[in-house]
Amino acid sequence: MSEGTGASDLTLMGLVHDLNNVFETISEAADIVSGDPEWAAVAAAILRSVDRGRRIVGRYADQSRTGPELEVVVDRAVTFLQDFLTHLTGVKVKVQRKVPAGLRLQGDSSDWERVFMNLFLNAAQAMRESGGGEIEVQSKLKDGAVEVRVSDNGPGIPEAILAKIFTARFSTRTKQAGLGLHIVHTIVRDNGGTVTAANRPEGTGAVFTITAPALVPE
Ligand SMILES: Nc1ncnc2c1ncn2[C@@H]1O[C@H](COP(=O)(O)OP(=O)(O)OP(=O)(O)O)[C@@H](O)[C@H]1O
Ligand SMILES: [Mg+2]
């Protein structure tokens, strides 16, 4: 989505530097409280958020691009989902992963994390009324592209809105912005891929299919 920036851009370098100091302070504070059993889980969640922040900032500082590994990106998004769900009582979501090791995407790791975080959050929100459910992530390499399917066993997406869900500000949920899938679509498209939505042919639930160019090692 974003291009890296010239390391000569002093303003940006200064911003990266200052943000890293902020992250340092937060993680030191989290380290201190992590020794208290009552706060250990919260401290761990804070540290994971700081890690995410560092990765977002890191893409500006780090000019080397090897391409994110899908398995790692999905694992991080699952951790984010589980952190999010700890604040919602009575909702349990199990994530089944069938993601072969070694598949690499083109683009930025934190952008791809946002893609899966948004899809997982939507699935969890859709399954919330029934107390949760299961998300399945399946992936394979197909004709030089990575294909990833994210499905859930929630109510599915009404046919009447299927064509609109990737549009910015379209939402059926009160108090939500309707931006999640628009962000997904934009990131996937900017990385040369496509994303489609459908309903499961058997049972109920939504299925999102992403196809994006794989990173071919040089
Ligand atoms: N897994 C899903 N199951 C059922 N409906 C879904 C699913 N994912 C998305 N939708 C539908 O698509 C709409 C748009 O999703 P999108 O993520 O763009 O916005 P949102 O979740 O409503 O708001 P935001 O993501 O900004 O918090 C949702 O309001 C919902 O109606
Ligand atoms: Mg959403």
Atom of ligand 1 nearest to the CA of 123: 1
- Report which bound ligand comes closest to the CA of 170: 1
- Report which bound ligand comes closest to the CA of 183: 1
Q: Is the CB of 84 under 6 A from ligand 1?
A: no
User: Residue 112 in contact with residue 146, Cβ under 8 Å?
Assistant: no
Residue with tokens 């990737």: 166
Ion ligand 2 — residues with CB < 5 Å = 122, 180
Pocket perturbation via mutation, ligand 1, pick of 134, 150, 181 by most ligand atoms within 8 A of CB: 181
Instruction: For residue range 45-54, list pLDDT tens digits in order.
Output: 999 999 999 8
Residue with tokens 């208290």: 36
Strand order in the sheet with 206-213: 92-98, 132-142, 145-152, 206-213, 194-199
Q: Residue 34 — very low, low, confident or very high, per pLDDT cuts 50/70/90?
A: very high
Helices (H) and strands (E) in the chain, counts: 6, 5
Q: How many C-beta neighbours within 10 Å does residue 71 have?
A: 17
Atom of ligand 1 nearest to the CA of 181: 18
Residue 217, pLDDT above cutoff 80: no
Q: Return the minimum-mean-pLDDT range out of 18-22, 24-28, 43-47, 199-203.
A: 18-22
Q: Residue 60 — very low, low, confident or very high, per pLDDT cuts 50/70/90?
A: low
Query: What amino acid is encoded at 59 in this protein?
Result: R
What letter does residue 139 receive in the DSSP assignment?
E
Packed helices 10-34 and 40-61: angle between N→C axes, nearest 10 degrees: 160
6 or 61, which is more confident? 61
Percent residues over pLDDT 70 in the chain: 91
Q: How far apart are CA 175 and CA 128, in angstroms?
A: 16
pLDDT of residue 182: 96
Q: Which candidate, 127, 57, 50, 138, places its Cα nearest to that of 88?
A: 127
As a whole number of Å, the end-to-end CA separation of the chain is 22
Q: Is the CB of 130 under 6 A from ligand 1?
A: no
pLDDT of residue 89: 79
Q: Is the CB of 49 under 6 A from ligand 1?
A: no
Q: CA torsion 50→51→57→63, rounded to 10°?
A: 170
Residue with tokens 């069938």: 98
Q: Which candidate, 218, 196, 215, 207, places its Cα nearest to that of 68?
A: 215
Residue 145 CA to ligand 1 centre (angstroms): 26
User: Residue 136 in contact with residue 188, Cβ under 8 Å?
Assistant: no
User: Residue 182 in contact with residue 172, Cβ under 8 Å?
Assistant: no
Q: Residue 23 — very low, low, confident or very high, per pLDDT cuts 50/70/90?
A: very high
Atom of ligand 1 nearest to the CA of 172: 29
User: Residue 104 in contact with residue 213, Cβ under 8 Å?
Assistant: no
Q: Is the CB of 176 under 6 A from ligand 1?
A: yes
pLDDT of residue 163: 95
- Report which bound ligand comes closest to the CA of 165: 1
Predicted TM-score of the model (pTM): 0.78
208 or 176, which is more confident? 208
Instruction: For residue range 85-140, list pLDDT tens digits in order.
Output: 987 778 899 999 999 998 999 988 889 999 999 999 999 999 998 999 999 999 99
What letter does residue 173 receive in the DSSP assignment?
S
Residue 123 CA to ligand 2 centre (angstroms): 8
Residue 56 CA to ligand 2 centre (angstroms): 20
Q: Is the CB of 153 under 6 A from ligand 1?
A: no
Residue 77 CA to ligand 2 centre (angstroms): 14
Q: How many C-beta neighbours within 10 Å does residue 29 have?
A: 13
